[in-house]
Structure formats: structure tokens, C-alpha cells
């Protein structure tokens, strides 16, 4: 009878409808794979050989097979939503119990583990807090600590220096510092026994005779004390006061104020003290009478100059042939007159000599200076000879220095640019480069500065910071040097010596305005995590606020020879069974072998074809109805047999 076949048909149709309904209900489940009921016919057992008239006894469910075809990929706003484009499964851990999934909806839990909605942890390659691989696979746990800073070791400056520029007006030339100090230091004033009497008359009274102790007085203060002591031993004690200023000028002052106050000086000591002898100096109203002289001995080039005697020195500028400068032997009462005499002697050498090439001057201490009129680091000067010895600069060689360079004076440099560099703690500092056009063609001096200070490379002779001279060829290309090694001192608590190599390789010198094409440096400050990025190979990168990134983990995928051998355990998870075949350990990076690649901020949708499933549902519904009809027909046939009489 056909009841058995009909019943089996109803059963498999019902099972098929169950599978279809399950597919439809999971059409919106991420990573779901549709299932298909596969039927098999059933034949009655027979001891005899098969017969062409043998009829089967119905159908059965041979297998409910999942279809591991690729689902559509849609984008999301969550970086840790991951879609597998191709083969492979995520490997999930539940306290060591391993399952597999195609659902890539992940997030980070409170402990930093990458987990799914059920709290299962994603596994892969793990990395430490420095972004270094731990060497073992396991549950991916991300470190959210700040990124370490890095001290700058190289700073690049790609600039164009304007070849049309002139040397800065404020740049000090190559300067020689001599020691031609006024005579109170070089030649002490001597009062002998024959010139130590001073006659002083106060307010028209009889003159008092003052005796000053004979001796050598090395400076004006000791002379003031000796003169005051002589006055205090006379009848003028308390009525005349002696003083001297910083230049050594001696002053006698009456203590009686008003217009009747007067002083009259004479005697042999007056000449030695260079006080005006025989001249009465009177006060006016409340002003005391003041008599001024000088205790400064005149500066003498030749100690005992004879008529017509000369003193010479040899001067070589910028490596040229030495030029003889002839300075007349004479007594020069002050530094200014000596400077004028030396300048006149220099100019006397003419245009082919040193005229216009050497400038003579002096500083605040009375030192005579010789300056080259050629600016720049290549400028130099050598001085020797008898006059050089008298001026305190025998055999002296000087090169250009930064005497006139100042970062606060824009007229002392041609161009400048700056960028931020970092010390070992990530503290920012401003490194500046100052470019100074020299008078020599295609040559520039470069000064480097950190936070307004200079590196500790100090010229031993001048005590000043020395620049680096760079040169260009006639086509504007940089010749040498192309890098400048600098070492700065920082006091932020970081490594105190900050060594930075300044790279000028791509710099040019064209007839165009100064411009900065590119600034670069390899240091950075500490950074906090600002976002995540997942690469196609599963690498999870942490992006930090300092522009750096750090590897925080790598997702590994696992594949099987027979995915249908996996057992579904719900929650979009499968477990391995021997029927699935070999499993490749802890997995491999996406994109290798048969594994697909990952797409971040995306999910793989269910591969259920909803339209097809609805058609399948109608088909199975009709099959169910037909099987029910076959049972009904058999019932009617049986009823007919029962009713036979």
C-alpha cells in the first residue's frame, strides 16, 4: 500500500519547510549560511536480485547541508566590524574552548579584549605595549597606553636661498682683538722725589704745600689715596677732597660751596698729575669749585721714540700676500687718536694694499680692533710685526665670528626658518636656521639655534658661536657640506645632549625669493590613542595623536577541508568535528593560501536568497499537499475494497 510513501513524503516536506523557515528567519543574521534539505529515496529490502518492477517505499532526509558561499558585504561605522571576503573563519575562545564564526561584529571589552556580542574573545597574533610581537598566538588584547616619544636625530630643511641677496648690514667682519689699554694699566704713573710737591690755595687764602709720597702707582685709586693723605696732613684737611672717575681722571674739589669758592694749584706735582697749574677755578652759587686733571699716562708706541723712528706691522687679509703697515712712533694720548693713526697707516697702503679692506676700531675696554671688510665665515686676517706686539696682538690670526650676529636683529642675517624638534621626553623645542649671505660668491654662513640659544661649539679665540659655511655651484646646486652636525643642551629632565643632524641636501641657490619647500624631522611627542585601523591582512593598528601608529594585534583566520563537517552550536558559532578535516592550528593571516582578506568597518550579510527561499517554500508546500493527497487516495482505494460484497 502507498501509505508508507505518502507518510515519508510528508515528513521530508515538513523537514524541508523547517530548513526553509530557518533560512528565512536568519536572512538578516550577519555571517549566517543558508541550509538546504537534501532528500534520498528508500527501497524495500529484498533477498532476491533487483527487479525492474521493484518499487521504493518512500523518501528520507539524506542531509541538511549549509551553503558556505560568500554573502554580500555592507559597510558600517564601527572599525572593528570585520567582513571576510573569501574563505576562512574567525577563531573564537571561550575560556579556552574554541569555536569558529563568520560573524565579524566585534568590540573591545573593559579589559581590552576584542570580543563578539556573546563575549567570546577573538584570537590571533598578540603584541606588547610597545607594538612588538609576543611570539605566541592567543586572545587579542589591546594596550591603550600612550605612545612613546622619540628624540629628533635628523631635521631636514629644503630651502631656496636667493642668489641676489647682499651681505647683511649688521654683520661683524673678521675682527682681531688687541690689548692696547690706556696707560694706567700698561704704564704706572711714577712720582719721583723731585716732582712730588703740590701747592694748593683755597678760597684766595695762602697756599698750603702738600707732599705726595714718591713711588709707582699702578692705578688711579692708589694715587687718589696718596694725594688725599698728603692733603689731610696739611692745613687743608677736611677742606679739599680728591677723587677719580673710571677713566682715571683726577679731580680736586673744594668743600666750600658758592661763588666765593676757588682753587689754585701749583707745584712740581701738578705737571705729573696733569692738573692745570696757575689757573684759578671758581665755583658759582651752590656749585663747589672743582679742578680736574688726569692721572692717566699717555699711550706710547715706542717707549723712547727718536725722531724719524717708525714701527711696522704685517697684515694679511683672506689669505692674501702680507702688506706692510708703517705706523709713526709717537705718543698717543688716548685710544681714539691711536685708532686714527693706525687707520691712516692702513689707508696709506693704497687700493692695491689694505685700503678699503681693513677697518680699525676699538671696543669699550680700549682694545684696538682690526676688521676685515669681507663678511662671512671665510674671512680671515693675520697680523705680525713690532707694531702688532705693541698693540698686544703679535702673530695673531683671526677668522670671522658672530660678533654682529644676533637672532633678535633681523639686519644681521639674510633669511631664517624654524621647525619643532623633540627631546627624549617628547618636549617640543624650536630649532631655527639663520642664513647669512657672505661677500663671497655662492657662499652662505648657517647658524643653528635651539629655543634662542646656540649649540656649545664655541670659538676658542673669540668666545663666540661659529657658523658653518656652505657653498653652491654656478647652477645653484649645493656642494658642501650637505649636513651640519649640532649638539644642543636641554634642561627639561630629558637626555641633556640633543644631537640633531641638519640635512640641507635638497637646498638650492637660485635667483628667486627665499622659500621653504619642505621641513621634516624624525622625532615626535607622546601620543594618546585616537583611533583604530584594521588592515586587509588582519593587522590591528592603533593610531595616536602624535601621528604615529602601533600594532596592537593581528586577526588570524582558520579554514577547513570540509566546512560542512562543522557542527552549528548557535550564536553564529561552529565547533570542529573530525568530519571537517584538518584544521590549520591557530590560523594564518588573511590573504594567505585559501583564506580571504578582511574588510574593516563592514560585515558579511546572510547568504540567504529570500526570493528563492519563498519559491522553495511554495514548492515544498505543494509537495506536502501532494503527499497528503496520495494518502487520501490510498484510503479511498482501501475503502472501496472494504465495501466489496
For 236-266, letters b (16+ CB in 10 Å) and e give: beebbebbbeeebebbbbbebeeeebbbbbb
**CB distance 468 to 481 below 8 Å:** yes
What does DSSP assign to residue 412? G
CA distance 491 to 506: 32
Lowest mean pLDDT among 131-140, 306-315, 496-505, 512-521: 306-315
| pLDDT of 194 over the 60 cut | no
Domains and CATH numbers, the chain: 3-69+609-642 (no CATH), 74-130+545-604 (no CATH), 154-170+411-521 (2.60.98.20), 175-181+301-399 (2.60.40), 188-296 (no CATH)
pLDDT of residue 296: 38
What is the side-by-side order of every strand in the sheet holding 468-472? 415-422, 428-437, 443-450, 468-472, 478-480
**CB distance 199 to 265 below 8 Å:** yes
Q: Give pLDDT tens digits for 530-554.
A: 999 999 999 999 999 999 999 999 9
| pLDDT of 160 over the 90 cut | yes
Q: Give pLDDT tens digits for 9-33.
A: 788 888 888 889 888 999 989 989 9
Please give the mean pLDDT across all residues of the chain: 82
| pLDDT of 435 over the 60 cut | yes
CA distance 84 to 597: 6
Q: Give pLDDT tens digits for 50-80.
A: 556 667 777 878 788 888 899 999 999 999 9
Q: State which H helix or E strand residue 335 sits in.
A: helix 335-347
CA distance 557 to 588: 5
In this structure, are strands 280-282 and 290-292 parallel, antiparallel, or unpaired? unpaired
Cβ burial of 174 (10 Å; 0-12, 13-18, 19+) is buried
For 100-139, letters b (16+ CB in 10 Å) and e give: bbbbbbbebeeeebbbbeeebbbbbbbbeeebeeeeebeb
C-alpha cell at 349: 697702503
**CB distance 397 to 380 below 8 Å:** yes
Cβ-based neighbour number of residue 96 at 10 Å: 6
C-alpha cell at 36: 538546504
What does DSSP assign to residue 504? -
- What confidence tier does 186 reach under pLDDT thresholds 50, 70, 90? very low
Whole-Å CA distances, 344 to 211, 347, 368, 457: 43, 5, 14, 37
Render 136-156 in DSSP notation, one character per residue: EEEE-B---PPBPPB---EEE
Q: State which H helix or E strand residue 282 sits in.
A: strand 280-282
Distance between the two ends of the chain, CA-based, in angstroms?
Answer: 21
Cross-strand bridge partners of residue 408: none
| Range among 428-432, 441-445, 460-464 with highest mean pLDDT value | 428-432
Amino acid at each position: 500500500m502507498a501509505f508508507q510513501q505518502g507518510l515519508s513524503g510528508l515528513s521530508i516536506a515538513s523537514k524541508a519547510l523547517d530548513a526553509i523557515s530557518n533560512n528565512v528567519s536568519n536572512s538578516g543574521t550577519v555571517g549566517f549560511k543558508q541550509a538546504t534539505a537534501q532528500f534520498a529515496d528508500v527501497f524495500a529490502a529484498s533477498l532476491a536480485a533487483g527487479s525492474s518492477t521493484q518499487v521504493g517505499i518512500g523518501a528520507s532526509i539524506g542531509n541538511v547541508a549549509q551553503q558556505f558561499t560568500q554573502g554580500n558585504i555592507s559597510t558600517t561605522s564601527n572599525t572593528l566590524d570585520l567582513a571576510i571576503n573569501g574563505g576562512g573563519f574567525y577563531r573564537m575562545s571561550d575560556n579556552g574552548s574554541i569555536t569558529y564564526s563568520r560573524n565579524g561584529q566585534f568590540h573591545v571589552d573593559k579589559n581590552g579584549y576584542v570580543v563578539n556580542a556573546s563575549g567570546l574573545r577573538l584570537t590571533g597574533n598578540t603584541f606588547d605595549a610597545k607594538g612588538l610581537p609576543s611570539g605566541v598566538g592567543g586572545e587579542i588584547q589591546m594596550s591603550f597606553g600612550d605612545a612613546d616619544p622619540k628624540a629628533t636625530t635628523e631635521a631636514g630643511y629644503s630651502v631656496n636661498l636667493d642668489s641676489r641677496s647682499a651681505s647683511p648690514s649688521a654683520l661683524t667682519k673678521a675682527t682681531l682683538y688687541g690689548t692696547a689699554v690706556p696707560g694706567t694699566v700698561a704704564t704706572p704713573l711714577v712720582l719721583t722725589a723731585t716732582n712730588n710737591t703740590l701747592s694748593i690755595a683755597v678760597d684766595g687764602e695762602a697756599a698750603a704745600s702738600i707732599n705726595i709720597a714718591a713711588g709707582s702707582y699702578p692705578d688711579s685709586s692708589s694715587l687718589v689715596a696718596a694725594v688725599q693723605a698728603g692733603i689731610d696732613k696739611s692745613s687743608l684737611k677736611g677742606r679739599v677732597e680728591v677723587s677719580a672717575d673710571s677713566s682715571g681722571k683726577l679731580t680736586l674739589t673744594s668743600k666750600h660751596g658758592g661763588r666765593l669758592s676757588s682753587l689754585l694749584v701749583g707745584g712740581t706735582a701738578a705737571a705729573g698729575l696733569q692738573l692745570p697749574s696757575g689757573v684759578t677755578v671758581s665755583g658759582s652759587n651752590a656749585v663747589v669749585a672743582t679742578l680736574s686733571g688726569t692721572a692717566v699716562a699717555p699711550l706710547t708706541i715706542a717707549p723712547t721714540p727718536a725722531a724719524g723712528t717708525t714701527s711696522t706691522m704685517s697684515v694679511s687679509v683672506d689669505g692674501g700676500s702680507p702688506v706692510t703697515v708703517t705706523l709713526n712712533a709717537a705718543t698717543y694720548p688716548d685710544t681714539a687718536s691711536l685708532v686714527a693713526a693706525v687707520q691712516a697707516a692702513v689707508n696709506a697702503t693704497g687700493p692695491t694694499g689694505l685700503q678699503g679692506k681693513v677697518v680699525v676700531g676699538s671696543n669699550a675696554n680700549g682694545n684696538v680692533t682690526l676688521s676685515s671688510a669681507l663678511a662671512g665665515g671665510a674671512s680671515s686676517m693675520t697680523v705680525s710685526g713690532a707694531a702688532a706686539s705693541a698693540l698686544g696682538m703679535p702673530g695673531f690670526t683671526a677668522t670671522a665670528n658672530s660678533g654682529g650676529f644676533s637672532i633678535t636683529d633681523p639686519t644681521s642675517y639674510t633669511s631664517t626658518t624654524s621647525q619643532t624638534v623633540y627631546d627624549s621626553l617628547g618636549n617640543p623645542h624650536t630649532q631655527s636656521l639663520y642664513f647669512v649671505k657672505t661677500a663671497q660668491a655662492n657662499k652662505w654662513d648657517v647658524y643653528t639655534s635651539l629655543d634662542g640659544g646656540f649649540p656649545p661649539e664655541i670659538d676658542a679665540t673669540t668666545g663666540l658661536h661659529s657658523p658653518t659655511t656652505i657653498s653652491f655651484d654656478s647652477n645653484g646646486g649645493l656642494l658642501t657640506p650637505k649636513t651640519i652636525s649640532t649638539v644642543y643642551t636641554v634642561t627639561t629632565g630629558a637626555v641633556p645632549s640633543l644631537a640633531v643632524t641638519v640635512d640641507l641636501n635638497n637646498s638650492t641657490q637660485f635667483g628667486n625669493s627665499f622659500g621653504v619647500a619642505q621641513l621634516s624631522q624624525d622625532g615626535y611627542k607622546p601620543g594618546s590613542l585616537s583611533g583604530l585601523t584594521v588592515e586587509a591582512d588582519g593587522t590591528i593598528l592603533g593610531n595616536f595623536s602624535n601621528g604615529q601608529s602601533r600594532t596592537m594585534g593581528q586577526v588570524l583566520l582558520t579554514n577547513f577541508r570540509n566546512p560542512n563537517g562543522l557542527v552549528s552550536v548557535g550564536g553564529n558559532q561552529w565547533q570542529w568535528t573530525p568530519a571537517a578535516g584538518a584544521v590549520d592550528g591557530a590560523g594564518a593571516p588573511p590573504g594567505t593560501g585559501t583564506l580571504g582578506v578582511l574588510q574593516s568597518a563592514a560585515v558579511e550579510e546572510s547568504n540567504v536568497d529570500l526570493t528563492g527561499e519563498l519559491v522553495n517554500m511554495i514548492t515544498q508546500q505543494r509537495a506536502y499537499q501532494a503527499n497528503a493527497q496520495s494518502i487520501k487516495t490510498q484510503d479511498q482505494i482501501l475503502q472501496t475494497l472494504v465495501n466489496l460484497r
